[in-house]
Chain A
Amino acid sequence: AQSVTQPDIHITVSEGASLELRCNYSYGATPYLFWYVQSPGQGLQLLLKYFSGDTLVQGIKGFEAEFKRSQSSFNLRKPSVHWSDAAEYFCAVGVQAGTALIFGKGTTLSVSS
């Protein structure tokens, strides 16, 4: 069965510092990969997506993610974090377009001044 692991439950980063959130998946082939962000009391907003092509994908709000097949990873990065980035981040996997997503448990990002 497919699964998604986000090893870090909570991360604190200083404003202006770089950020990397880890995501590992378990699936026999290349899945559809997504990162979503959820602010308190809000729905999930799509940050970026990947299925094929360039393994470094750019998303909204200055985020990027890199797919590494050898490591079954899809880590999210941002060069300089802003206080408004504080939220919960979810990595998700889909086995094909139009099917349900399997979500990781999420990583809560706090930004310190």
Chain B
Amino acid sequence: DAGVIQSPRHEVTEMGQEVTLRCKPISGHNSLFWYRQTMMRGLELLIYFNNNVPIDDSGMPEDRFSAKMPNASFSTLKIQPSEPRDSAVYFCASSLVGTGIGEQYFGPGTRLTVT
């Protein structure tokens, strides 16, 4: 089975531009998570969804960030307008909740550079 798929793998954009990151979770999984990794703050949760419904968005830095999950197989994370401090690696992870521990499986990440 394919793992979590993220696109693009790398994104370089100028300050003020809109950035959209995409994620396709593992088929059949019912929870999806967006994390951000930086040297200073490590790995931190931005938002997560259960059954396509946002459950906790307390990690979203500010109104410039938004996330959607229109269906079980697709999610987007949008930054508008982008700022240099948004430069980081953004990971999407999915899990199957309801059986076992519900461990999370991570995608390869999107490395975002905002100049």
Contact = CB atoms under 8 A, between A and B. Distances in A.
Interface of A: 32, 34, 36, 42-46, 49, 51, 90, 94, 97-106
Given A98-B95, A98-B97, A100-B45, A43 B109 contact: yes
B42 A46 contact: no
A44 B56 CA distance: 22
A43 B108 contact: yes
B66 interface: no
Interface stretch (B14-22, B70-78, B79-87, B99-107): B99-107
A94 B59 CA distance: 16
Contact of A97 (B91, B93, B100): B100
Contacts, number: 56
Contacts of A44: 91, 93, 106
A90 B109 CA distance: 16
13 contacts: A32-B101, A32-B102, A42-B109, A44-B93, A45-B106, A49-B101, A97-B95, A97-B97, A100-B33, A101-B104, A102-B45, A103-B43, A103-B44
Given A100-B33, A100-B56, A43 B91 contact: yes
B17 to A, nearest CB: 24
Interface string B48-61: 10100000100100
Nearest to A97: B102
Nearest to B44: A103
Nearest to A96: B102
